[in-house]
Structure 1
């Protein structure tokens, strides 16, 4: 009965996110409140001091994960806020895009850019930079929504073929179920899925865009900070692979270098303003992440994920993998993957590859299913849970295409 009450809290939180536009209450506030109430309830239900101490340890573990994500997001968002304000992103777009291009061409270019960027750096950075591309253009509401949704899907697809691109891919690799060379076969299905979605979105999409010149407002120090940002992205991947250094530590180092470089600016007011860019971080987004991860941690604590792992074994692996990806749109794919690995299902290599693709890309089916989706909701005003929901049929087709191609290609090779 108590577990049903906690699950009900999670359902209410989801309902508040869905109905945000109707109830006019920010989703960050409702999600954070219900996430806190869930853990308070766990403490009150624990009974003994020993049980309360165990709950406290689990909460500390959950908060440590959240704090790492918070600091990582804060670092990345501060860099992007600075570069946007200085016009660096806008001028970068103008250097890689022609002065005139069709909306369909923009759709394809953004899809490929987000896919490639997310394959070499983390999803948060790839999402922020890709969304920055969109915001440069003067687009109507419908086109902006399609592009934002495409970015979410492309970013989640880009990292599944590399252990540096997605945590769940790394988990399955470290468990010894797939090799590096086998993972690389996922690049083709990921790219095809993104192109299928871009093609579906391009139907009935007409018009041409003109890139107007923008004022060059940045100085030498801004070029240095841009260089630090992109060096930090590369260093994050390299240091994590070779030395196991958490990405948050590398990005905080990069952020501190940004502030130190800011000391070279002669104007005292500009020196202080560089530090002020932290204030431009969307803290609504961070609070929303906090609430969501508290609720996911609670569901993990009461054994909901283990129940799903047991249900996984009741069906054929090809079917279970597909729906495991869909479930990752509601639950964090990292604990879900951990629960599935703990269940230790008997799968062959093509089936493990299918699971890797599914849990990496399936979170794209809902706006709240991935970090990329939550960031997009905070950065693109028109994108809400309900507006994203209208594109679910196209997302399912793209996800299903990538999943089917993964199985076909893996079975053909093996």
Structure 2
């Protein structure tokens, strides 16, 4: 490799370590790394901003932006609080049924919306319900964040790594539904069974406190009924368009952005206020990360790694699939799965191409997605949703330590990733 290539590797490695350790704000690291790549000549403006293979993936950026606008409007309606209170009342204040409903609601919502946003909205209400029930909120919060990462794996838009994989692989919304959604349903049932065992000491039923929960009026949470109906209608239309995007000839990014802008226009809300709900740092982080990865592509680093991986695999697709699955789960447990998937996507694309691009070779993309999405559950820093929930709990006076989260998350991760082994075998090799 050339001197510039080695320098690009060094810049990327340092940036990756800083992102993983969180010693410096990850947005600053991504922008700093991108700037250095441009200054070194590892990439240039034309490739960074306009190249499909080595530049900012605008499909990812605008898909996230559109969904964030929709969520920003939904947040103003009180709908999420309504669902949480409704769930507690349906369970009649009994702790384990409450957890079951919250887990299912969190997983389903995370499949349709970003999992970080889901836990950000549901966690505060969970604290309220647990306080009324007189049960410790930490098990409920941990279970919810595990459910959010599992539910987010089911669809293209549920978890940022899936968005990156879809953009790089050409897989569509329906592909994710067909391959990952059935598996996620099984994993969700397993999570419910594990939660009953792992958190059994938290399920203390207090009839008096349960009665107080039953006295809560979920309707009081709805601040604008008209906007609720409008938001749900637009969200439903967006999800239908995702499913039919091959017929409509509209990319998911275009659908999401059109839906977000339409809802913003019809909502009569202050656009400035909604814009403040958009996670701009996340979007900027993605942009910087894409430029850094593009520097590795342009200097030939990714190509050499792909050739090395192809030679090591030598056409053995099943061993390659298992290596991809478990390595992705292990690495995503240590570092955020977003930069990991962004880095691995070009390599997986080369591996699939080396296999002739046959349908069976697509299993590598699914191994990457499952490993990265479920591996994020293993530790407190494995996924952005984990960090958000720990912060909410800490501010509420219920500190969740790194190892407290990890001792539960690691069990769930090992079992759920292990379930992917027979699933991938049956889906792509046996049948």
Which TM-score applies when normalising by structure 2? Answer: 0.70
What's 1:207 paired with? Answer: 203
What's 2:341 paired with? Answer: 331
Report the CA distance shift for 1:338/1:107 in structure 2 as closer, same or farther (over 3 A). farther
CA distance in 2, matches of 1:56, 1:90: 46
Deviation of 1:348 (Å): 8.2
CA distances 1:202-251 after superposition (whole Å, capped 9, x unpaired): 54312369654453442343134323442343243145221221223223
Report the CA distance shift for 1:114/1:307 in structure 2 as closer, same or farther (over 3 A). farther
Conserved? CA contact 1:34–1:291, under 8 Å: yes
Deviation of 1:276 (Å): 1.8
**Secondary structure of 1:74's partner?**
helix
What's 2:372 paired with? Answer: 363
Aligned pair partner of 1:89 in 75, 80, 90: 80
CA distance in 2, matches of 1:239, 1:183: 12
Report the CA distance shift for 1:342/1:292 in structure 2 as closer, same or farther (over 3 A). same
Conserved? CA contact 1:186–1:406, under 8 Å: no
What's 1:268 paired with? Answer: none
**Aligned pair count?**
378
What's 1:314 paired with? Answer: 312
CA distance in 1, matches of 2:204, 2:298: 52
What's 2:396 paired with? Answer: none
CA distance in 2, matches of 1:393, 1:9: 35
Aligned pair partner of 1:4 in 3, 6, 18: 6
**Secondary structure of 1:38's partner?**
helix
Structure 1 stretch displaced more, 25-34 or 88-97: 88-97
After the TM superposition, which residues 162-173 of structure 1 pair with which residues of structure 2 at under 5 Å, given as runs?
168=165
Conserved? CA contact 2:100–2:192, under 8 Å: yes
Conserved? CA contact 2:302–2:347, under 8 Å: yes
After the TM superposition, which residues 196-275 of structure 1 pair with which residues of structure 2 at under 5 Å, given as runs?
196-200=190-194, 202-205=196-199, 206-207=202-203, 212-214=216-218, 215-263=220-268, 271=269, 273=270, 275=272
**Secondary structure of 2:198's partner?**
coil
**Secondary structure of 1:83's partner?**
helix
What's 1:14 paired with? Answer: 16
What's 2:134 paired with? Answer: none
**Secondary structure of 1:331's partner?**
helix
Aligned pair partner of 2:153 in 149, 153, 156: 156
After the TM superposition, which residues 15-414 of structure 1 pair with which residues of structure 2 at under 5 Å, given as runs?
15-20=17-22, 23=23, 25-41=24-40, 43=41, 56-61=46-51, 65-96=56-87, 98-100=90-92, 104-105=96-97, 108-113=100-105, 116=108, 121=112, 124-125=113-114, 128-129=117-118, 132-138=121-127, 140-141=137-138, 143-158=140-155, 168=165, 184=178, 187-200=181-194, 202-205=196-199, 206-207=202-203, 212-214=216-218, 215-263=220-268, 271=269, 273=270, 275-310=272-307, 311-315=309-313, 316-325=316-325, 326-327=327-328, 329=337, 330-332=340-342, 334-344=345-355, 349=360, 352=361, 354-364=363-373, 365-366=375-376, 373-374=383-384, 377=387, 381=391, 391-392=409-410, 394-408=412-426, 410-412=428-430, 414=431
Deviation of 1:375 (Å): 6.0
Deviation of 1:171 (Å): 7.4
CA distance in 1, matches of 2:243, 2:122: 26
Report the CA distance shift for 1:60/1:90 in structure 2 as closer, same or farther (over 3 A). same
Cα RMSD of the aligned pairs, angstroms, is: 4.2
Conserved? CA contact 2:115–2:152, under 8 Å: yes
CA distance in 2, matches of 1:290, 1:9: 16
CA distances 1:87-119 after superposition (whole Å, capped 9, x unpaired): 122113334552545665455445544555566
Conserved? CA contact 2:15–2:30, under 8 Å: yes
Deviation of 1:137 (Å): 0.7
CA distance in 2, matches of 1:259, 1:149: 31
For structure 1, the residue ranges without an aligned partner over 5 or more in a row are 47-51, 264-270
Deviation of 1:358 (Å): 0.4
CA distance in 2, matches of 1:39, 1:243: 38
For structure 2, the residue ranges without an aligned partner over 5 or more in a row are 131-136, 394-399
Report the CA distance shift for 1:110/1:172 in structure 2 as closer, same or farther (over 3 A). farther
